[in-house]
């Protein structure tokens, strides 16, 4: 130890003993000791940070900040802060940054709002360090508007601030806003980091914007970030989302050799989302050859692949193998895959039994999966039962009403359909407004149902009418939607947002002949559009990829990779 500096490879307990013996030990050394103790992975060693702090006769703001930072996963951090205010001492931006982090870890929204008020009074909300932590805080609590407002109040915005905003917006399903923030950052000549690049890539992936992915990929190469594992994983995920599996695999291969399990899991997840179980299994075997041990995410990719491929036997076998051979405790997501595979194969009773007996409380997604499968297999009473369970958790889930009404109408149970409509009106539930978007020459075009705002509206509607006429001649019959109070059910879904996006893609030349048209939708694709897109792919003679909230649908030659279950 020289000049109070602690060497990184020195056991802090040795230095602690020396500091106690020394008659003139500086307070800064004790502050450093608190930090070093708190960075340990050993809980016993971490507890020494409290012991050091309690021995300080006059802790300064650095001492308090150090001890608060040491316990951001415990309510001790908030208790220390309240004790600090009694001295009295005012926090610095670093103190607040640690406290906002603690509020996120502890789900303490109210405390965080009070901290924001204090930061505002002390003018610390405008500082980049505490400001970026505040952005992260609001983003984690699903308040993206507040995150953006916190960002706008920062005077000197650095790469950390932009990183917090871009990642936060992307995580809150605000891809257009995230990408806009990235463009703003580059316009201000702020340097890129792995966080800003990965956030922008995540946004591009959500928009299924291939050109955006390629632009950010090129930017990552120029910035020298393409070899980073975080950026690499996000690139793999981004290309996978837009349906360019070959490009995703190319990024993966460029990261080899020596990459960890996380990268392998990312590539396996891409194959799984597209129902390519053979590639997932191939990667699992190759991963073991590399000496890597599969983890819970590896098995999640495997189970997702089997679920999407409708293979319930394989799902059950690998689920048991994860538990028995690898001693990995299944999480809720693993059980969801098993339930989905069973239900999709028509084994509805077994799927429900798994949902009811798993060591987790079934969430809305579990009941939604069972609801869709029961409806697909025509189990009317079971569909109503699953809808009831789903609506108990989420009374405003419009899809539950829609699915039940369509199943009941198919059996001619019109009185019950009317009751479902009345219940929907009584609860003031409206069908969520669907939006679809498509990328053309680097620009993303967004459409609503029956949208007439686009400058090429006449061409779009003319092309859609032409395509609809072709598929109707090929045997397409519209699927009725009994939740829509219209006289002409034939027209109910004619101008859905995804159909308008497709027509625009054809008119604008979104992809050259032989290449796939890519569309993303903010909701689950309806059964009518799913049926129509199978016919579109046949009459157009090209692949169409539609990414909805559930999975990636690849339509080609009149069929879809989902097998009709999604």
What is the token pair recorded at 125?
């909300």
Give the model's pLDDT for residue 378: 87
Q: How much is the pTM?
A: 0.79
Average pLDDT of the segment spanning 333-358? 93
Binning pLDDT at 50, 70 and 90, where does residue 24 land?
Answer: low
Q: Which residues of 434-472 are buried (b: 16+ CB within 10 A; e: fewer)?
A: bbbbbbbeeebbbbebebeebeeeeebbebbeebbeebe
In this prediction, residue 354 carries a pLDDT of: 95
Mean pLDDT for 385-413 is: 89
**Predicted pLDDT of residue 443:** 82
494-508: average pLDDT = 91
pLDDT of residue 565 exceeding 70, the answer is: no
Span 465-476, average pLDDT:
94
Element (H, E) at 163: helix 159-171
Mean pLDDT on 411-434: 86
Alpha helices in 309-376 (DSSP H): 312-324, 332-344, 348-357, 364-376
Indicate the range of 162-166, 483-487, 497-501, 508-512 predicted with least confidence.
Answer: 483-487
Inter-CA distances, 11 with 23, 182, 484, Å: 21, 42, 70
Angle of helix 175-187 relative to helix 159-171, nearest 10 degrees, comes to 160
Q: Are 230 and 198 within 8 A, CB to CB?
A: yes
Phi then psi for 497, rounded to 5 degrees? -60, -40
Q: Assign a CATH topology to domain 12-156.
A: 1.25.40
pLDDT tens by residue, 122-154: 999 999 999 999 999 999 999 999 999 999 999
Q: Do domains 12-156 and 362-431 have the same CATH topology?
A: yes
- Average confidence (pLDDT) over 268-275: 89
Architecture of the 362-431 domain: Alpha Horseshoe (1.25)
pLDDT, tens only, 49-62: 778 888 787 888 98
Question: Model confidence at 86, in pLDDT bands (50, 70, 90)?
Answer: confident
Does 550 score more than 80 pLDDT?
A: no
Which of 169, 175, 229 is CA-nearest to residue 547? 175
> Bigger pLDDT: 152 or 524?
152
* Neighbour-count burial for 351-364, b at 16+ CB within 10 Å, e otherwise: bbebbeebeeebeb
Run of H or E residues at 444:
strand 443-448
Has residue 482 got a pLDDT over 50?
A: no
Given a cut of 50, is residue 91 above it in pLDDT?
A: yes
Three-class secondary structure of residue 1 per DSSP? coil
Rounded to an integer, the average pLDDT of 439-446 is: 84
Alpha carbon distances (Å) from 149 to 112, 152, 160, 196: 15, 5, 16, 18
Phi, psi values for residue 444, rounded to 5°: -95, 125
pLDDT band at 557 (very low <50, low <70, confident <90, very high): very high
Nearest partner of 229 among 198, 201, 250, judged by Cα = 198
Mean pLDDT of 207-223: 86
- Name the percent of the chain lying above pLDDT 90: 53
- Domain ranges, ordered by start, for the chain: 12-156, 362-431, 436-477+493-560
**Per-residue DSSP letter, 377:** T
What does the DSSP assignment read for 75-112?
THHHHHHHHHHTTT----HHHHHHHHHHHHHTT-HHHH
pLDDT at 480: 62
- DSSP label of 5: B
Q: What is the mean pLDDT of residues 230-250?
A: 89
Range in 66-70, 169-173, 180-184, 386-390 with the lowest mean pLDDT: 66-70
Whole-number CA gyration radius for the chain = 27
Q: How far apart are the first and last CA of the chain?
A: 63
Whether the predicted pLDDT of 117 surpasses 80: yes
Show Cβ contacts of residue 90 under 8 Å, excluding neighbours closer than 6 positions: 61, 122
Per-position DSSP letters for 279-327, written without gaps between them = HHHHHHHHHHHTTPPP-HHHHHHHHHHHHHTT-HHHHHHHHHHHHHTS-
Q: Torsion angle, CA of 375/380/384/390, rounded to 10 degrees? A: -20
| pLDDT, mean over the chain | 87
Mean pLDDT for 383-404 is 90
């Amino acid at each position: 130890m020289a000049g109070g500096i602690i060497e990184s490879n020195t056991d802090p307990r040795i230095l602690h003993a020396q500091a106690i013996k020394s008659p003139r030990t500086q307070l800064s050394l004790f502050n450093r000791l608190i930090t070093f103790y708190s960075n340990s992975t050993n809980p016993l060693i971490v507890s020494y940070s409290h012991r050091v702090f309690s021995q300080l006769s006059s802790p300064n703001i650095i001492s308090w900040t150090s001890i608060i930072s040491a316990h951001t996963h415990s309510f001790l951090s908030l208790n220390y802060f309240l004790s600090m205010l009694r001295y009295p001492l005012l926090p610095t931006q670093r103190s607040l940054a640690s406290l906002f982090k603690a509020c996120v870890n502890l789900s303490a929204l109210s405390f965080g709002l009070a901290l924001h008020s204090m930061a505002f009074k002390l003018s610390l909300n405008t500082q980049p360090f505490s400001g970026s932590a505040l952005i992260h805080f609001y983003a984690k609590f699903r308040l993206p508007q507040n995150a953006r407002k916190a960002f706008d109040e920062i005077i000197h915005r650095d790469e950390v601030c932009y990183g917090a905003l871009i990642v936060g917006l992307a995580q809150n399903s605000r891809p257009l806003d995230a990408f806009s923030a990235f463009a703003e950052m580059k316009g201000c000549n702020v340097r890129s980091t792995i966080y800003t690049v990965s956030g922008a890539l995540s946004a591009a992936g959500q928009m299924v914007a291939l050109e955006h992915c390629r632009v950010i990929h090129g930017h990552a190469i120029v910035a020298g970030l393409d070899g980073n594992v975080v950026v690499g994983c996000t690139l793999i995920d981004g290309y996978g989302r837009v349906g360019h599996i070959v490009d995703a695999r190319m990024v993966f291969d460029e990261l080899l050799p020596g990459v960890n399990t996380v990268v392998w899991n990312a590539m396996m997840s891409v194959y799984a989302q597209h129902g390519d179980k053979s590639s997932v299994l191939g990667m699992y075997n190759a991963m073991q050859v590399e000496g890597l041990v599969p983890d819970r995410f590896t098995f999640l990719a495997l189970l997702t692949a089997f679920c999407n491929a409708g293979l319930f036997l394989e799902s059950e076998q690998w689920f048991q193998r994860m538990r028995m051979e690898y001693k990995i405790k299944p999480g809720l997501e693993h059980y969801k895959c098993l339930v989905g595979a069973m239900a999709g194969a028509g084994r509805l009773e077994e799927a429900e039994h798994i949902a009811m007996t798993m060591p987790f409380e079934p969430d809305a997604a579990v009941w939604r999966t069972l609801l869709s499968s029961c409806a697909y297999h025509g189990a009317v009473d079971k569909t109503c039962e699953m809808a009831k369970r789903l609506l108990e958790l989420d009374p405003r889930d419009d899809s539950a009403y829609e699915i039940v009404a369509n199943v009941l109408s198919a059996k001619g149970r019109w009185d019950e359909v009317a009751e479902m409509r009345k219940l929907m009106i009584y609860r003031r539930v409206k069908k969520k407004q669907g939006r679809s978007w498509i990328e053309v020459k680097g620009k993303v075009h967004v459409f609503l149902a029956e949208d007439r705002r686009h400058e090429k509206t006449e061409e779009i509607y003319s092309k859609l009418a032409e395509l609809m006429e072709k598929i109707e001649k090929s045997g397409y019959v519209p699927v009725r939607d009994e939740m829509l109070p219209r006289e002409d059910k034939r027209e109910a879904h004619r101008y859905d947002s995804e159909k308008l996006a497709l027509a625009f893609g054809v008119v604008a030349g979104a992809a050259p002949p032989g290449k796939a048209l890519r569309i993303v939708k903010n909701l689950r694709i309806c059964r009518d559009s799913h049926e129509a897109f199978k016919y579109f792919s046949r009459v157009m003679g090209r692949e169409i990829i539609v990414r909805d909230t559930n999975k990636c649908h690849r339509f080609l030659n009149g069929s879809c990779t989902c097998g009709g279950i999604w």
